[in-house]
Chains A and B, each alone.
Chain A
């Protein structure tokens, strides 16, 4: 098999043209670093957005005169809505208790009160995909029609801005990542193309000796994948050091930084992505071979 020859040829070319290859590796690494940090940012933003969504709830205030059975059937009506992930009933009494706990030492203001002015309520948790202005509005319009529901607190504007914020960041991030990924392919493509043209004469000779397309392509594909893989390796190391540095150095000052996560799967994924982009770039660079 000629694979040993292909590997040797690829390494020989990497060494013979070390400066152009080094520049290419560093360019690839730089782009991948930005992609990784961007991905890390988006990954953590998504976790954050999920947390915010978990906290988002809709509150419906009930008519005080509802009987226990009526409340029970109302709860199951609410629970059966597609948008609703869970419901929690808050009775007058527990509402008062929560309020007092919340106010702590100021709770004495209720001391003179012998009637409970609060109304029973139900807190609805909404599934993530339904948290947007339109769905929340539709839902609250529907709920308004149900007997026994007095008032609804929906805060659809808050829901909408959380989503808008998250979506804009994701879209922007994805555009940058796609652009840089194309950039990585292009840089490897250009480098391999230069190396290919430098060896054009040699390749024409090898064709006449009976070399197949894959025999000619293989060294370039190997070279491209090594460039991509090395770029990936460097970018992972640098990004991880960066992540390590900010979580340990800044973590004590800004506690939220400590909650940032660097998924270990990313390490392997980016090595493979690097190599893959290298192969793609090299494959395009070698192009169609004519005999």
Chain B
């Protein structure tokens, strides 16, 4: 599903990723870990074309990312749901409308949008806050909106950047279980996290990156 082939990424002579290669199978759930500043977020960014890589090749499904045309990017991104580390919620839209946006972009009917959004909000325990403004909510609640928005369209790929960064341990487990459920339904999931507790006992594959390289592969 996703192939990295000797991928390098530099920011002004500063190497963030150097010759990184790995493969993720369709339907896999994979953790990427490493200390802060290791390049986890950058790796995810390269997948959703939020940044361009400088060397190597990334293949996602039928797309070769070095060759993808600008006009194809919107449709390519529709295959991906992203849990951003900095949330990227829309300040002037309600919780409901923030989540619904992912479906409006995909052209679903308002009726279908309503059904799907209500369901996903129930799953992340936010149904009672549907009409609230996200900016008025706690960090944990905002985090769950972002997760709801990422999964609501049931995309083939879900990229989650520190999805439990703002959650207490119990809620973190809930979120990981939610992502596991979605994974069982067929989505390929990549989770970047600096905290080992998250993948402990999951039995999923974990890639550890440090100093711009994959230094270890292990089982959670």
Chain A interface residues (CB < 8 Å from chain B) = 1-2, 4-5, 16, 202, 205-213, 215, 290-291
Query: Of B82, B84, B105, B106, which is within 8 A of A206 by CB?
Result: B105
Q: Which residue among A1, A2, A205, A209 has the maximum number of chain B CB atoms within 10 Å of its CB?
A: A209
Q: Give the residues from 61 to 91 in chain B that come closer than 8 angstroms, CB to CB, to chain A.
A: 70, 73-78, 80, 82, 84, 88-91
Q: Is the pair B74, A213 in contact by a Cβ cutoff of 8 Å? A: yes
B49 beta carbon closer than 8 Å to chain A:
yes
The CA-CA distance from A5 to B103 in the complex, in Å, is 11
**Interface range for B:** 20 to 34
Chain A residues lying within 8 Å of B149, measured Cβ to Cβ, are 209
The list of the 9 closest CB pairs from A to B, nearest first, reads A210-B77, A210-B78, A291-B73, A212-B74, A205-B88, A5-B104, A211-B105, A2-B104, A202-B90
Chain A residues lying within 8 Å of B102, measured Cβ to Cβ, are 209-210
Q: Which residue among A205, A210, A215, A291 has the maximum number of chain B CB atoms within 10 Å of its CB?
A: A210
Q: Is the pair B105, A291 in contact by a Cβ cutoff of 8 Å? A: no
Q: Is the pair A4, B49 in contact by a Cβ cutoff of 8 Å? A: no
Query: Of B49, B82, B101, B110, which is within 8 A of A291 by CB?
Result: B49
B50 beta carbon closer than 8 Å to chain A:
yes
Evaluate whether A210 and B106 lie within 8 angstroms (CB atoms) in the complex, with A291-B49, A291-B73 already known.
yes
Evaluate whether A210 and B101 lie within 8 angstroms (CB atoms) in the complex, with A2-B107, A205-B88, A291-B70 already known.
no
Chain B residues lying within 8 Å of A5, measured Cβ to Cβ, are 104
Q: Name the CB-closest residue of A to B90.
A: A202
Chain B residues lying within 8 Å of A4, measured Cβ to Cβ, are 110
Q: Which residue among B74, B90, B91, B102 has the maximum number of chain A CB atoms within 10 Å of its CB?
A: B74
Evaluate whether A210 and B90 lie within 8 angstroms (CB atoms) in the complex, with A215-B105, A291-B49, A291-B70 already known.
no
The CA-CA distance from A208 to B86 in the complex, in Å, is 13
In the assembled complex, 10 residue pairs joining A and B whose CB atoms fall closer than 8 Å, in A order, are: A2-B107, A4-B110, A206-B105, A209-B101, A209-B105, A210-B76, A213-B74, A215-B74, A290-B70, A291-B49
Query: Of B48, B92, B109, B110, which is within 8 A of A208 by CB?
Result: B48
Q: How far is the CB of B165 from chain A (nearest CB, A)?
A: 18
Q: Is the pair A205, B90 in contact by a Cβ cutoff of 8 Å? A: yes
The CA-CA distance from A258 to B149 in the complex, in Å, is 65
The CA-CA distance from A206 to B90 in the complex, in Å, is 9
Chain A residues lying within 8 Å of B48, measured Cβ to Cβ, are 208
Q: Is the pair A208, B107 in contact by a Cβ cutoff of 8 Å? A: no
The CA-CA distance from A207 to B77 in the complex, in Å, is 9
Q: Is the pair B104, A208 in contact by a Cβ cutoff of 8 Å? A: no
Chain B residues lying within 8 Å of A1, measured Cβ to Cβ, are 107, 109
The CA-CA distance from A272 to B104 in the complex, in Å, is 29
Chain A residues lying within 8 Å of B91, measured Cβ to Cβ, are 202
Chain B residues lying within 8 Å of A207, measured Cβ to Cβ, are 74, 77
Chain B residues lying within 8 Å of A213, measured Cβ to Cβ, are 74
Q: How far is the CB of A112 from chain B (nearest CB, A)?
A: 96
Q: Is the pair A208, B105 in contact by a Cβ cutoff of 8 Å? A: no
A202-B91, A208-B48 given; 20 more Cβ-contact pairs under 8 Å: A1-B109, A2-B105, A2-B107, A205-B88, A205-B90, A206-B101, A206-B105, A207-B74, A207-B77, A208-B77, A208-B82, A209-B102, A209-B105, A209-B149, A210-B102, A210-B106, A211-B105, A212-B105, A290-B70, A291-B70
Chain B residues lying within 8 Å of A16, measured Cβ to Cβ, are 92
Q: How far is the CB of A15 from chain B (nearest CB, A)?
A: 12
The CA-CA distance from A41 to B49 in the complex, in Å, is 57
The CA-CA distance from A212 to B78 in the complex, in Å, is 10
Q: How far is the CB of A2 from chain B (nearest CB, A)?
A: 5
Q: Name the CB-closest residue of B to A291.
A: B73
B116-153 Cβ-contact flags toward A at 8 Å (1 or 0): 00000000000000000000000000000000010000
Q: Is the pair A210, B105 in contact by a Cβ cutoff of 8 Å? A: yes
The CA-CA distance from A263 to B75 in the complex, in Å, is 49
The CA-CA distance from A208 to B106 in the complex, in Å, is 13
The CA-CA distance from A202 to B97 in the complex, in Å, is 13
Chain A residues lying within 8 Å of B50, measured Cβ to Cβ, are 208
Chain B residues lying within 8 Å of A211, measured Cβ to Cβ, are 74, 105
Q: How far is the CB of A271 from chain B (nearest CB, A)?
A: 29
Q: How far is the CB of B175 from chain A (nearest CB, A)?
A: 20
Chain B residues lying within 8 Å of A210, measured Cβ to Cβ, are 74-78, 80, 102, 105-106
Evaluate whether A209 and B77 lie within 8 angstroms (CB atoms) in the complex, with A202-B90, A291-B49, A291-B70 already known.
yes
